[in-house]
């Protein structure tokens, strides 16, 4: 009998994962709004988040969290990081023992600074927790373009089993035992994407964009390694791969936020006009706390925080970066 998979969260990426998973396993998608569940079941579309694409007819949707959770042999969490804990507390009432839980969220919990697998372990201590992360823009996956990701679990055998469920057609999935690094790469790159977007909004040019991405990678790698991640992970799909996609794509929510800031809009104006969550906004505050805690210099992240939370402008931020003294490129130099 095939494993039954439930995906919680019918945003763009949750819906995309349900679409892919349904090719390999019976898949149930939980939607907060009954209208969304009806739309997916009846016309196989999610117009709010993926208006240009059909959802697999094999995906079944429900607005009942209890129904979605009690049927699951594998539970995939597609809710944003700030809503992860409250959703898991409801999940705990219905989940069967030992069901593995996979997080799709690329963020850190604002108050506790925990990674999503840590939140899962706190709320569901008897369940194994892992993450799927990589350069995965939902609309391109739905369009059938080739993409790659990593499934990160401490349990290598479980990672290999789940690899077979997530891998579909030209969507390739690799295993990675560095859960810490994969989660941090996915979360921290969103802050750098806001910085890159600010530059695009200001019209600073390709050379500057490349420099911000490269130095941003150095920043997130320093913090990620200090927090227990492996250096090689940040040079892989969950690190530089995800960073490049998020910093350069017109489809990237975090890059879009930065671009609008660069054009002079306030963060309140930008967020009010968005349907989807840009995780980097909240993560920028968490990152600065973590950087102070671990004694890590993160000048790009600091400038993003200044624009998002301290009333600075994107022009101020880029002026501050260009005035910073350049030292050795590598810490060991």
Q: Which whole number is the average pLDDT over 83-96? A: 97
On the question of pLDDT at 1 being above 80, the answer is no
Is 282 noted as a catalytic residue in this protein? no
Helix (H, G, I), strand (E, B), or coil: what is residue 168? strand
Is pLDDT of 274 > 50? Answer: yes
Cβ pair 134, 13 in contact under 8 A: no
DSSP 70-122: HT-SEEEE-S-GGGHHHHHHHHTTTPPTT--EEE---S--TTT---HHHHHHH
Q: What is the mean pLDDT of the chain?
A: 94
CA distances from 177 to 99, 153, 190, 216, 323 (A): 19, 5, 22, 24, 40
Give the number of other Cβ atoms within 10 Å of residue 6's Cβ: 28
The reported pLDDT for the residue numbered 326 is 63
Tell me the mean pLDDT in the region 253-259. Answer: 94
Could you say which of 93, 189, 275, 282 is catalytic? 189
Q: Please write the tens of the pLDDT for every residue from 199-255.
A: 999 999 999 999 999 999 999 999 999 999 999 999 999 999 999 999 999 999 999
pLDDT cut 90: percent of the chain above it:
88
Phi-psi region of 199 (alpha: psi -120 to 50; beta: other; left: phi over 0): alpha
Q: What percent of the chain has pLDDT over 70?
A: 97
Three-class DSSP category at 132: strand
Average pLDDT over residues 168-193: 96
Q: CA–CA separation, 220 vs 104, rounded Å?
A: 19
Angstrom CA distances, 283 to 214, 301, 324, stand at 19, 10, 23
* pLDDT tier, 322 (very low <50, low <70, confident <90, very high otherwise): confident
**Is the pLDDT reported for residue 116 higher than 60?**
yes
- Residue 277: predicted pLDDT: 74
Confidence of residue 329 (pLDDT cuts 50, 70, 90): low
> How confident is residue 328, by pLDDT bands cut at 50, 70 and 90?
low
Does the pLDDT at position 298 exceed 50?
yes
Answer yes or no: is pLDDT of 333 > 50: no
Q: Where do the domains of the chain lie, and which CATH numbers do they carry? A: 5-177 (3.40.50.720), 181-323 (1.10.1040.10)
CB neighbours of residue 263 within 10 Å: 15
Structure tokens at 206: 């390709």
Which has the closest alpha carbon to 165: 8, 18, 309?
18
Cα(74)–Cα(69) distance, rounded to whole angstroms? 9
DSSP state of 237: I
Residues 6+ apart with CB under 8 A from 8: 14, 30, 65, 68, 69, 75, 76, 77, 78, 79, 87, 91
Q: What is the pLDDT of residues 31-49, one digit of tens each?
A: 999 999 999 999 999 999 9
Query: Is residue 110's pLDDT more than 90?
Result: no
Work out the average pLDDT over 261-279: 87
DSSP characters over 117-128:
HHHHHHHSTTS-
Whether pTM exceeds 0.85: yes
CA–CA gap between residue 58 and residue 56 (Å, rounded): 5
């Amino acid at each position: 009998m095939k494993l039954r998979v439930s995906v919680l969260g019918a945003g763009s990426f949750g819906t995309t994962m349900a679409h892919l998973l349904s090719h390999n396993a019976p898949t149930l998608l939980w939607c907060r709004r009954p209208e969304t569940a009806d739309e997916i079941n009846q016309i196989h579309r999610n117009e709010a988040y993926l208006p240009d694409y059909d959802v697999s007819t094999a995906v079944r949707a429900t607005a009942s969290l209890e129904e979605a959770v009690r049927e699951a042999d594998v539970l995939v969490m597609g809710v944003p990081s700030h809503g992860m804990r409250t959703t898991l507390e409801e999940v705990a009432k219905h989940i069967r023992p030992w069901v593995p839980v996979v997080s799709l969220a690329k963020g850190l919990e604002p108050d506790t600074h925990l990674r999503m697998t840590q939140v899962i372990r706190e709320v569901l201590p008897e369940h194994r927790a892992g993450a799927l992360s990589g350069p995965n823009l939902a609309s391109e996956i739905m369009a059938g373009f080739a993409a790659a990701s990593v499934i990160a679990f401490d349990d290598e055998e479980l990672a290999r089993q789940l690899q077979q469920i997530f891998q579909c057609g030209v969507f390739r999935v690799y295993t990675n035992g560095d859960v810490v690094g994969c989660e941090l790469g996915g979360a921290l790159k969103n802050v750098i994407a806001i910085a890159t977007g600010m530059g695009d909004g200001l019209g600073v040019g390709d050379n500057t964009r490349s420099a911000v991405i490269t130095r941003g990678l150095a920043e997130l790698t320093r913090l990620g390694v200090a927090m227990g991640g492996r250096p090689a992970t940040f040079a892989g799909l969950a690190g530089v791969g995800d960073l490049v996609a998020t910093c350069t794509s017109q489809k990237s929510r975090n890059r879009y936020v930065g671009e609008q800031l660069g054009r002079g809009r306030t963060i309140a104006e930008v967020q009010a006009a968005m349907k989807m969550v840009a995780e980097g906004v909240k993560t920028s505050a968490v990152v600065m706390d973590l950087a102070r805690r671990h004694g890590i210099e993160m000048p790009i992240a600091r400038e993003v925080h200044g624009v998002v939370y301290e009333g600075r402008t994107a022009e101020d931020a880029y002026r501050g970066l260009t005035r910073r003294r350049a030292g050795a490129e590598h810490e060991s130099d």
